[in-house]
Structures are given as C-alpha cells and as structure tokens.
C-alpha cells in the first residue's frame, strides 16, 4: 500500500523559513495537499493541488511537489504557525495521510 | 458559512455497533463528495471512507472495509457512517469532512469538530 513519510518534528525560529517534507513513491505524479492542526482543533486545509492556497490562508504558506517529495514551506514563520502538519494524497482510490510533523517555533 | 456537525459518538463494547451522523449546512450538499476521517487519541489522521456527491461511489480504508458503511441522504444534507464489529482500535475522534469536488477524493476543504467513539468493555 502507498505510504507518505514525514519527519516527526521540525523546529524553526520566528521570522525564519520552515520546510516540511512529505515523501512517497512518485509523489510528484499525484496531487499533494497539506493540513494544519492546532491542539484541540480540527484540521485546516492550507495547501491543495501541490501549491494552491485556499482563501484565507496567508501568503507565507506555499507548496511544491516534484519527484518523490512534496514540500510545505512557511516563510516568515510566526508563533501562531506552531502546529501539527499533515500531507495527503490520493492513490488507487485511497486517501493517504502522512504521519504528521510537529512544527515548533522557538 | 459551511458547518458540519457530527453526532452519534458513544462508549460501545467490542463487537458492538454505532451510527454516526454529520449534518451539513452552508453549501450545496448534493454537489460535494464527503468523507470520514478519524484520529485516535494522541495519534495522526487516518482516512476512513469517502462517498461521491450522488452516493453512487464509495471508498473505504482496508482497516474498516466490510465493517463500516458510508451513506448520505442529500434531501436531508446528512452524511452517515454505520459501524459494526467495533474493535478497541476503532477508538478515535471521528471527523466529517467536505471534499472540494463532487467526485470523492482530496482535498477536504471543511471539517467538523468531531464526535468521539470509544470502544471498551
């Protein structure tokens, strides 16, 4: 079965750029999307179709997807961006989530 | 404003059954596929099932195939998840999510607050 692999944790200083990766076999041939989940809250879609932002999502969130890796980039990271981030893809009529990455802003 | 309100979560014994509901509002329910996603305590997101806008196509995770059934009643703007033969590993917060398009599949652009299912004796 298809798997998506994310690093368990990423740390970034305020104002710096955070990059969270998601790896899967030929992931670049599929669309990837990303969700942000803060403690006690429901997930929020932040990137879809590799690099599109839903309305209301700040421009500092961007995405890319090529080869075997999709990347969520947060430019000028703010304290409010501290959360768990999950990548997602669709393969063989199945929705796959990555294991999640805890982003710490310190 | 899109709203998804789940209900039906409860404490149930192993082997038992439960039906979850998700009442939708704020969008044309019959135009969107819908999905269920669960999250075990302290764990990540796990997709459970998706259904197309018409209800004619359904998809299931292997972990629930044959035990869970997704359905919808468009006239009531309501999504359901019928769960049978529940196991301890089904314990989770179950989210209802709206798919962005009519055909089932990601992305999920709106999520409910979840309903808690606990399977324990």
Task: Write out pLDDT tens, residues A5-34.
Answer: 999 999 999 999 999 999 999 999 999 999
Task: Write out pLDDT tens, residues B33-70.
Answer: 999 999 999 999 999 999 999 999 999 999 999 999 99
* Mean pLDDT to the nearest integer, A76-93: 96
Q: Cis omega (within 30 of 0) on the bond before B107?
A: yes
Of A1, A45, A86, the CB nearest to B44: A86
Q: How far apart are CA B12 and CA A97, in angstroms?
A: 27
The sign of the CA dihedral B76, A54, A98, B101 is: positive
DSSP-derived secondary structure for B9-59: --EE-TT--EEEEEEEESS-GGGS-EEEEEE-TTS-EEEEEEE-TTS--EE
Residues belonging to chain A with any Cβ–Cβ distance to chain B shorter than 8 Å: 1, 31, 33, 35, 37, 42-45, 48-49, 54, 84, 86, 88-90, 93-100
Place of tokens 């989770």: B92
Contacts of B113 in chain A (CB under 8 A): 42
Give the residue on B whose Cα is nearest the Cα of A93.
Answer: B59
User: In this complex, do B106 and A54 lie within 8 Å of one another by their Cβ atoms?
Assistant: no
* Mean pLDDT to the nearest integer, A88-92: 94
**Model confidence at B16: pLDDT above 90:** yes
CA angle B89, B91, B95 (to 5 degrees): 120
């Amino acid at each position: 079965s298809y798997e998506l692999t994310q690093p368990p944790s990423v740390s970034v200083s305020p104002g710096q750029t955070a990059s969270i990766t998601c790896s899967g076999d030929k992931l670049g041939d599929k669309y990837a999307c990303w969700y942000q989940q803060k403690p006690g809250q429901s997930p929020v879609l932040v990137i879809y179709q590799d690099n599109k932002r839903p309305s209301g999502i700040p421009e500092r969130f961007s995405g890319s997807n090529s080869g075997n890796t999709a990347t969520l980039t947060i430019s000028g990271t703010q304290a409010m961006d501290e959360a768990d981030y999950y990548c997602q893809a669709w393969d063989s009529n199945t929705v796959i989530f990555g294991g999640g990455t805890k982003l710490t802003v310190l | 404003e899109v709203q998804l309100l789940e209900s039906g979560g409860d404490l149930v014994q192993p082997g038992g059954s439960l039906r979850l509901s998700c009442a939708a509002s704020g969008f044309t329910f019959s135009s969107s596929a819908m999905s269920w996603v669960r999250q075990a305590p302290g764990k990540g997101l796990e997709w459970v099932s998706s259904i197309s806008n018409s209800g004619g196509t359904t998809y299931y995770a292997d972990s629930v195939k044959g035990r869970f059934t997704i359905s919808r009643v468009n006239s009531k703007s309501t999504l359901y998840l019928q769960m049978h033969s529940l196991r301890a590993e089904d314990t989770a917060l179950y989210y209802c999510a709206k798919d962005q398009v009519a055909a089932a599949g990601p992305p999920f652009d709106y999520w409910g607050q979840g309903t808690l299912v606990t399977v324990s004796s």
